[in-house]
Amino acid sequence: MSESKIRILTLIILTALIFSISSFAQDEFIYDAKGERNPFMPLITAEGMLIKVKPRQATGGLELEGIIFDNISMSYAIVNGSVVKVGDFVGDYQVLKIQEDRVLFIKDGEPFEVELEKEEG
């Protein structure tokens, strides 16, 4: 093989390698906090002020994602990815009442309330 063909082949391989590496470098990681505080964000502002962190609410493994509230008819809630109504079960918890901003569950005769997290921004 001639020296010029080897150089051209080497140049093609290097170009392909550079473009494949740069395409991987463009993938940007976006952190999904899922309602929790982002651990990568500082707790102190640039001015030196402490940022208040809301205490975690015990949810018993229930994630309330949304509510479709109707005062007159049937209300629905999205819990752990499933649409539920009063009387339905999510695991061991039965939906007792759906309000505008919270859902009341019952488990083993004990009521348990999960509030809908308000979106910020």
CATH number at residue 84: 2.30.30
pLDDT at 84: 96
Residue 7 lies in a domain: no
What is the C-alpha separation between 54 and 39, in angstroms, rounded?
13
Q: How many residues does the chain have?
A: 121
- Owning domain of residue 103: 64-115
Residue 88 lies in a domain: yes
pLDDT at 42: 81
pLDDT digit of tens for each residue in the chain (121 aa)? 688 888 888 888 888 877 776 666 556 667 666 666 677 778 888 888 887 766 555 567 888 999 999 988 899 999 999 999 999 999 999 999 999 999 999 999 999 899 888 765 4
Residue 16 lies in a domain: no
Residue 38 lies in a domain: no
| Strands of the sheet with 110-115, listed across from one edge | 89-90, 93-98, 102-107, 110-115
Residue 15 lies in a domain: no
Number of domains in the chain: 1
What is the C-alpha separation between 57 and 63, in angstroms, rounded?
11
Residue 95 lies in a domain: yes
